[in-house]
């Protein structure tokens, strides 16, 4: 039994402050120097999720923001524990996803003497986080955690790092360490009146307007305003990154598909033809090909909460430094009166037609082959999945089939590593999101290559009986690299993967395991979801180059 009368320590100040900021889980691997924080969770509502690798724990923390909108938290022990979080932190930086990483350190008495496991982790974490600080007095822990939260949420969100030497973490605290003023989300930045007026004029005149909804829509929870704006004006609209699901992609009449050029030829063509592009809460990133394919006369209105991204890479004729929510709010009575009706109807229609074309192609290619086309498996899973399921994809070739195929119903229900394109994020995303929101299953599509990164986290899911369904689309290859390599070099070097027994691996880790043919995929998914805990569903598939990979290869 934990001694509740034990005096309060730095660990209590840390855990209490994090709890106040909405943290429910600390993704962590234990270590002596962070024992004080572990003990603190026995007298607080925060739980330790003891993972199998700190990188996976950091991806899980990223998934918490993606699935709930509240930043997640990592607690790592000193040296290699913290260093293991670094690559996942760098991925969250690229994706603009906030999280706090708390690291242990050698005691101040031993610091810089080469204490056991000691590393200069402040230097390791500085370039992969937005802000990092060391706490040298226990009473200052709440203050510095608060500061970390302000920094992580300001402008473009991102990870922050706070390091606490072990003697500081386990020191008794005084009253000064009680939590300070509660952290409150800063109010959103509204656009200036002149920009709103100009926007209105642009929209009212435009014949072929096009809307791209990006990350800022999610940061602002602006989906309601976006849906209202899009259905009122009828402007063809696409979603990307964190904004997937901001429009109900299964039913919106105005949705022209995911706004990624490599997988969406309808969007690619529309960018050239549009006379006005509304780029909301995003910038001209690489999957928008830096804005290079814009038509000569296309005008661009870009709205971003971070001025550093206004005009980055590509054209932005009207640059509006504002949050997306207040921007859309200011356009309540704006209509796209001059819009060409054919344009309005054509783009969503063409996207659906493109999907039907791919369905027919997949069916034709699989005739007489026992291995289905990846699309056939993806469709069977999506069709059998419960309405509230969350989907997760990785970055293999099979995932580039799944990513544009999944129609996301609501925000926070589709998770995919952002601009880093990191293999290895996907299984932790599925586990982290299912742990945080166990009422809905997390359904992951992953290849036989990427699954190897953090397979052990299936055991973490099993310990918590979390609803994580891992669909392994097995083409016996690092396919996304193999197929283009063969096209460019005539050979594949070291890219074959032998058939492995995924069912036994799942069972060995405490999960259920199934290996099935296409006709059993839907029934098996329902069974796996029904049993509640984690499962692998393994399906052998054909290697077929996805449109995305074909475009970039």
Residues that bind ligand TPP (CB under 6 A): 395-398, 421-424, 447-450, 475, 477-481
Which span (62-70, 256-264, 439-447, 516-524) binds Mg ion, by CB under 5 A?
439-447
Nearer to ligand TPP, 52 or 219 (CB): 52
Please give the residues from 472 up to 501 whose contact with Mg ion meets the rule CB under 5 A: 475, 477, 479
Which span (76-84, 278-286, 440-448, 453-461) binds Mg ion, by CB under 5 A?
440-448
> Residue 549 CB, nearest distance to Mg ion (Å)?
12
Q: Which residue has the tokens 């009828």?
A: 234
By a kind-dependent CB cut-off of 5 to 8 A, residue 401 interacts, out of ligand TPP, Mg ion, none, with none
- Taking CB under 5 A as the rule, does residue 447 contact Mg ion? yes
Count CA atoms closer than 13 A to 547's CA, side-chain side: 21
> Residue 334 CB, nearest distance to ligand TPP (Å)?
41
- State how far the Cα of 282 lies from the Cα of 246, in Å rounded to an integer: 14
Contacts of 437 (CB under 8 A, 6+ apart): 67, 68, 390
Which span (65-73, 408-416, 430-438, 469-477) binds Mg ion, by CB under 5 A?
469-477
- Beta-bridge partners for 536: 470, 513
By a kind-dependent CB cut-off of 5 to 8 A, residue 395 interacts, out of ligand TPP, Mg ion, none, with ligand TPP
3-state SS, residue 546: coil
**Residues 461, 464, 468, 469, CA torsion sign:** positive
- State how far the Cα of 301 lies from the Cα of 280, in Å rounded to an integer: 8
Nearer to ligand TPP, 21 or 481 (CB): 481
> Residue 448 CB, nearest distance to ligand TPP (Å)?
5
Residue 231 burial by CB count (10 A; 0-12/13-18/19+): exposed, middle or buried? Answer: middle
Contacts of 369 (CB under 8 A, 6+ apart): 542
Which span (252-260, 414-422, 445-453, 519-527) binds Mg ion, by CB under 5 A?
445-453
**Which pair of structure tokens corresponds to residue 261?**
């050029």
> Residue 359 CB, nearest distance to ligand TPP (Å)?
19
> Residue 496 CB, nearest distance to Mg ion (Å)?
10
Q: Which residue has the tokens 């038509």?
A: 295
Nearer to Mg ion, 146 or 475 (CB): 475
- State how far the Cα of 169 lies from the Cα of 28, in Å rounded to an integer: 16
> What is the pairing mode between strands 390-393 and 72-76?
unpaired
Which of 379, 448, 457, 544 is close enough to bind Mg ion by CB under 5 A?
A: 448
Q: How far is CA 322 from the centre of its chain?
A: 23
Nearer to ligand TPP, 396 or 534 (CB): 396
- Taking CB under 5 A as the rule, does residue 404 contact Mg ion? no
Residue 204 burial by CB count (10 A; 0-12/13-18/19+): exposed, middle or buried? Answer: middle
**What DSSP character marks residue 428?**
H
> Residue 312 CB, nearest distance to ligand TPP (Å)?
23
Nearer to ligand TPP, 325 or 449 (CB): 449
Q: Which residue has the tokens 């060409």?
A: 340
By a kind-dependent CB cut-off of 5 to 8 A, residue 422 interacts, out of Mg ion, ligand TPP, none, with ligand TPP
By a kind-dependent CB cut-off of 5 to 8 A, residue 267 interacts, out of Mg ion, ligand TPP, none, with none
Edge-to-edge strand ranges of the sheet holding 25-28: 47-50, 25-28, 72-76, 99-105, 159-165, 131-134
What does the per-residue mask of binding to Mg ion show for 301-330, with x meaning CB under 5 A?
A: ------------------------------
Nearer to Mg ion, 179 or 547 (CB): 547
> What is the pairing mode between strands 159-165 and 318-321?
unpaired
Nearer to ligand TPP, 212 or 402 (CB): 402
Alpha helices in 108-246 (DSSP H): 121-125, 141-153, 166-169, 193-205, 215-219, 223-233
> Residue 474 CB, nearest distance to ligand TPP (Å)?
8
- State how far the Cα of 79 lies from the Cα of 131, in Å rounded to an integer: 18
By a kind-dependent CB cut-off of 5 to 8 A, residue 481 interacts, out of ligand TPP, Mg ion, none, with ligand TPP
By a kind-dependent CB cut-off of 5 to 8 A, residue 48 interacts, out of Mg ion, ligand TPP, none, with none
Nearer to Mg ion, 212 or 506 (CB): 506
> Residue 244 CB, nearest distance to Mg ion (Å)?
23
- State how far the Cα of 65 lies from the Cα of 528, in Å rounded to an integer: 26
* Interface positions with Mg ion (CB under 5 A): 447-449, 475, 477, 479
């Amino acid at each position: 039994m934990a001694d509740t009368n034990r005096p309060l320590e730095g660990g209590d100040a840390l855990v209490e402050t994090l709890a106040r900021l909405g943290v429910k889980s600390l993704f962590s691997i234990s270590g002596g120097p962070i024992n004080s924080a572990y003990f603190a969770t026995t007298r607080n509502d925060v739980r330790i999720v003891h993972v199998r690798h700190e990188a996976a724990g950091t991806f899980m923390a990223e998934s918490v923001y993606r699935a709930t909108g509240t930043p997640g938290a990592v607690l790592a022990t000193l040296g290699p524990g913290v260093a293991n979080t670094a690559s996942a932190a760098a991925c969250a930086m690229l994706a603009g996803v906030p999280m706090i990483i708390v690291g242990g350190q050698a005691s101040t008495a031993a610091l810089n003497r080469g204490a056991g496991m000691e590393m200069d982790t402040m230097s390791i974490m500085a370039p992969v986080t937005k802000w990092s600080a060391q706490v040298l007095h226990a009473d200052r822990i709440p203050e510095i955690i608060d500061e970390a939260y302000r920094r992580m949420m300001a402008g473009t969100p991102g990870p922050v790092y706070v390091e606490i030497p072990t003697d500081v973490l386990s020191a008794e605290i005084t009253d000064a360490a009680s939590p300070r003023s509660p952290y409150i989300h800063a109010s959103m930045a509204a656009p200036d009146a002149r920009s709103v007026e100009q926007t209105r004029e642009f929209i009212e005149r435009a014949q072929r307007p096009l809307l791209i909804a990006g990350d800022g829509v999610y940061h602002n929870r602006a989906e309601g305003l976006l849906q209202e704006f899009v259905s009122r004006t009828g402007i063809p609209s696409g979603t990307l990154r964190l904004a997937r699901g901001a429009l109900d992609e299964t039913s919106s009449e105005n949705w022209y598909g995911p706004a990624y050029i490599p997988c969406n030829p309808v969007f690619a063509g529309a960018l050239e033809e549009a006379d006005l592009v509304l780029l909301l809460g995003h910038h001209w990133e690489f999957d928008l090909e830096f804005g290079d394919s814009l038509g000569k006369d296309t005008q661009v209105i870009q709205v971003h909460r971070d001025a550093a991204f206004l005009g980055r890479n590509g054209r932005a004729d009207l640059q509006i430094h504002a949050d997306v929510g207040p921007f859309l709010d200011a356009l309540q009575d704006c209509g796209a009166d001059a819009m060409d009706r054919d344009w309005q109807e054509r783009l969503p229609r063409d996207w659906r037609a493109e999907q039907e074309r791919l369905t027919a192609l997949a069916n034709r290619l699989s005739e007489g082959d026992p291995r289905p086309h990846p699309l056939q498996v993806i469709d069977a899973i999506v069709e059998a999945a419960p309405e509230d399921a969350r989907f997760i994809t990785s970055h293999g070739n099979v995932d580039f089939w799944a990513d544009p195929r999944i129609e996301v119903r609501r925000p926070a229900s589709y998770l995919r590593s952002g601009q880093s394109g990191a293999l290895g994020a996907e299984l932790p995303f599925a586990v982290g999101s299912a742990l945080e929101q166990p009422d809905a299953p997390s359904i992951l599509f992953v290849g036989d290559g990427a699954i190897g990164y953090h397979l052990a986290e299936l055991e973490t899911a099993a310990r918590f009986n979390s609803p994580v369904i891992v669909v392994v689309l097995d083409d016996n290859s690092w396919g996304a690299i193999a197929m283009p390599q063969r096209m460019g070099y005539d050979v594949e070097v070291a890219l074959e993967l032998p058939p492995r027994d995924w069912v036994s691996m799942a069972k060995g880790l405490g999960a259920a395991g199934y290996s099935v043919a296409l006709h059993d995929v839907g029934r098996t998914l329902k069974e796996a979801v029904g049993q509640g805990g984690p499962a692998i569903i393994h399906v052998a598939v054909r290697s077929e180059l996805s449109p995305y990979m074909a475009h970039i290869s």
